[in-house]
Each structure stands twice: as C-alpha cells, then as structure tokens.
Amino acid sequence: MKKETIILFDLDGTLIDSTEAILESFEVTFKTFHEEVPDNEAIKAQIGHPLDWMFLKLGVEEEEIWDHVAAYKKHYRKISKAKTFLLPDAQEAVERAREFAILGVVTTKTAEYSIELLEHMGLMDDFEVLIGRENVEHPKPHPEPIQKALLKLPRVSGDAWMIGDTCMDMISAKSADIKGVAVSCGYGTVEQLSECSGKICENSLDAVTYIAKK
C-alpha cells in the first residue's frame, strides 16, 4: 500500500527524554569554564533551541559560545546513550505511524548524535530522513528544517504533519505550510502550546492516533 501521509517528529520532549544528559552536560560545561551553573529550570526552559542560542540565553558571552558548545558536546556524547530514554508510548507511536505514513525527524539536536541515539534505541530504521542542527542554516522555528526534510521524501497526495512539544515546532510547521500537532509531554506548557497550536495531545501516540483519523 502506497503511503500518502508524511509525519515528522521532533525528538527531545516528543519521542525521547534526554533531560538528565542535557542538564549534566551543561553543569560540566559551566564548571569547565569556572562559571556559575544556571538553575535547572532555566536550562530546561531553553531546551528545543540550538545549543549556541541556549548558551547565549544562559549568559555566556557571544565570543565564548562555541567553546562552550564544544565542551558540552564532548561530555554529552559520552553519556547520552546511558542517560536518554524513550518517552512512554513513543515506540508504539512510531510503529503505529509507520503503518500509514512516511516518517522523518526534524530536530535542533546535532544530527550525528540524534542518529546514534535512535540507532541505540532501535528506531532509526523507521525514519526515511533526519534533519539536525548542522544540516540547516536556520533552525526551527524557521521553516528550513521542515522544508529540507520534505525535499528528501517522496511527494504524497495527502497531508504532511509535524509533531512537537514546543511552539518552535508549531511555528516551523505553519511557516512550511504543513499541519502541526503539539504534545504536552515535553518542555512546552499547555498554556504556551495553546497560543501556537490548534491541537494539543498528551503524547506522540495520541498525536499519531489523531492524525490517523484525519
């Protein structure tokens, strides 16, 4: 059966929980540069943005950002597999979506590490494309990541959808002229998501079930 729907998933807060690995990597990075470690809530509020943006928002001077990013990645790569987990129902969501849709991942994480994580979790073969931070000039909420993903996928007669946990995902979807479904299991609050999405589901499985009925 030819699949005529495309579903693009965000990663952090949508399919995976890497909060522990992210927080630890930020802590190690700030301590490496003998700087005060930001509050965990301040860090979590920025998850979903690219690393350089996160460090900027967390008070790092612009000329020092890329040194911090390099230190972060060095530690994150060591611990990410051990301290990253699939969210409840995420595997079932991917399996259900695969039955009727062509799947992809659009994330602001580094594509290289994202692929390693999904391979470690046994899910990478379910996705036809993965677009990460290094694959685009303009990350979400810009439409470029979604547009690049769609260019690498077959054309379909049905709808293309983006499932994500932040308004960046929803704004990117709207700007790329595809449909968006927000999930409340990640880093965006229901209040925030209600301002940018017409549909909010509890998790990715609920979102896939919603799309399947459309």
| In a shared domain, residues 108 and 69 | no
| In a shared domain, residues 188 and 152 | yes
Residue in this structure with the two tokens 């965006």, named with its chain if needed: 188
Which residue in 8, 2, 40 sits closest to 23, CA to CA?
40
DSSP strand pairing (102-106 vs 85-86): unpaired
CATH number at residue 117: 3.40.50.1000
- In the predicted structure, residue 214 carries a pLDDT above the cut 90: no
Percent of the chain with pLDDT over 70: 100
Q: What is the pLDDT of residues 109-163, one digit of tens each?
A: 999 999 999 999 999 999 999 999 999 999 999 999 999 999 999 999 999 999 9
Domain boundary pick from 52, 79, 106 = 79
- Would you state the pLDDT for residue 186? 95
> What predicted TM-score, i.e. pTM, was given to this entire model?
0.94
| In a shared domain, residues 13 and 23 | no
- Would you state the pLDDT for residue 196? 97
| In a shared domain, residues 26 and 51 | yes
Domain span at residue 31 reads 19-79
Amino acid at 49: H
Is 170 inside a domain boundary? yes
- In the predicted structure, residue 174 carries a pLDDT above the cut 80: yes
- In the predicted structure, residue 165 carries a pLDDT above the cut 90: yes
What average pLDDT score do residues 85-100 get? 97
Query: Cα separation of 80 and 109, whole Å?
Result: 12
Is-cis flag, bond preceding 143, omega within 30? no
Domain boundary pick from 79, 104, 119 = 79
Residue 114 half-sphere exposure toward CB, CA atoms < 13 A: 22
Q: What is the pLDDT of residues 38-84, one digit of tens each?
A: 999 999 999 989 999 999 999 999 999 999 999 999 999 999 999 99
| In a shared domain, residues 65 and 128 | no
| In a shared domain, residues 131 and 172 | yes
| In a shared domain, residues 139 and 198 | yes
Helices H, strands E: what count in the chain?
10, 8
Domain boundary pick from 43, 59, 79 = 79
| In a shared domain, residues 13 and 24 | no
Under 8 Å between Cβ of 116 and 58: no
Q: What is the pLDDT of residues 19-37, one digit of tens each?
A: 999 999 999 999 999 999 9
| In a shared domain, residues 74 and 90 | no
- Would you state the pLDDT for residue 21? 95
Is 1 inside a domain boundary? no
| In a shared domain, residues 67 and 159 | no
Is 68 inside a domain boundary? yes
Is 181 inside a domain boundary? yes
Is 197 inside a domain boundary? yes
- Domains in the chain, number: 2
What average pLDDT score do residues 100-116 get? 96
- Would you state the pLDDT for residue 102? 98
Under 8 Å between Cβ of 166 and 10: yes
| In a shared domain, residues 11 and 28 | no
- In the predicted structure, residue 1 carries a pLDDT above the cut 90: no
- Would you state the pLDDT for residue 2? 82
| In a shared domain, residues 11 and 65 | no
CATH number at residue 73: 1.10.150.240
